[in-house]
């Protein structure tokens, strides 16, 4: 379980302040959606939580532990991007196993975790295909599977459904919601789509111009 505490976070690009003293508490097991117009700083905030981006001020902690300066690979998070970021020459199985292989997990454990994630996402029949042989929705599932096998306690999603057509997007929305219910871990999800935010979130943080303007349940 991961509880995220963000305190007075500042990110600047030259003279431009992209995150302007952002403070946010995310509870264990919450599904929090960062909602706001293009350029408001949603992805920058997500990258800061992941550790992919430096910050100029403030603090981030996971379960009370300061991670502000911790490398991304040591934060135990799963990230899913809109671009999927799958390795095109590897099969689905190898894509999903990759992070565990790099971490020198043992073969039996890798197999068990890939099978577990593939069953959960109903992609067991696609394990020997390459990403180019999959639909957008299937690729998205593989990208989620890759984060799942790492048994992350915090999942970060950056507009993962924006490349899908309307029908697939509705289906994947349901799947992501059900996945969150089954896993019971913390999800932080970035979107500019209000319907997506309203249907997925336990709480929505409305961002604009580098600040959180309002935060609350969809109701």
Q: Which residues bind ligand ATP (CB under 6 A)?
A: 13, 16, 18, 36, 38-44, 192
Which residues have a Cβ under 8 Å from the Cβ of 45 and sit 6 or more positions away?
A: 6, 9, 11, 19, 22, 34, 190, 207
For ligand ATP, the closer CB: 41 or 160:
41
d(CA 65, CA 172): 33
* Burial zone of 148 (CB within 10 Å; 0-12 exposed, 13-18 middle, 19+ buried): buried
The least CB distance from residue 154 to ligand ATP, in Å, is: 19
For ligand ATP, the closer CB: 45 or 121:
45
The least CB distance from residue 51 to ligand ATP, in Å, is: 15
For ligand ATP, the closer CB: 16 or 108:
16
Q: Where are the alpha helices (DSSP H) in the chain?
A: 42-50, 92-102, 107-120, 136-148, 166-183, 194-200
For ligand ATP, the closer CB: 100 or 206:
206
What separation in angstroms does the CA of 3 have from each of 14, 27, 148, 205?
A: 31, 5, 18, 16
Degrees to nearest 5, angle at CA 179 with 185 and 45 = 55
For ligand ATP, the closer CB: 41 or 51:
41
From the centroid of its chain, how far is CA 16?
Answer: 26
Residue 161 in 3-state DSSP? coil
The least CB distance from residue 11 to ligand ATP, in Å, is: 8
The least CB distance from residue 132 to ligand ATP, in Å, is: 26
The least CB distance from residue 123 to ligand ATP, in Å, is: 27
């Amino acid at each position: 379980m991961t509880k995220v505490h963000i305190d007075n976070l500042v990110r600047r690009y030259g003279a431009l302040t992209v995150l302007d003293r952002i403070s946010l508490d995310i509870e264990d097991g919450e599904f929090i959606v960062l909602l706001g117009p293009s350029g408001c700083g949603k992805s920058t905030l997500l990258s800061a939580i992941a550790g992919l981006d430096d910050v100029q001020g403030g603090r981030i902690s996971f379960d009370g532990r300061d991670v502000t300066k911790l490398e991304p690979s040591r934060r135990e998070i799963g990230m899913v991007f809109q671009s999927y970021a799958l390795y095109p020459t590897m099969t689905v199985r190898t894509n999903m196993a990759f992070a565990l292989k790099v971490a020198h997990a043992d073969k039996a454990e890798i197999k068990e975790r890939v099978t577990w994630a593939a069953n959960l996402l109903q992609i067991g029949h696609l394990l020997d295909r390459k990403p180019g042989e999959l639909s957008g929705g299937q690729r998205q599932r593989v990208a989620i599977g890759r984060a799942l096998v790492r048994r992350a306690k915090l999942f970060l999603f950056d507009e993962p459904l924006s490349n899908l057509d309307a029908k697939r997007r509705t289906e994947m929305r349901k799947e992501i919601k059900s996945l969150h219910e089954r896993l019971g871990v913390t999800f932080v999800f970035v979107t500019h789509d209000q319907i997506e935010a309203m249907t997925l979130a336990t709480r929505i943080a409305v961002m604009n111009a580098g600040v959180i303007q309002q935060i609350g349940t969809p109701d």
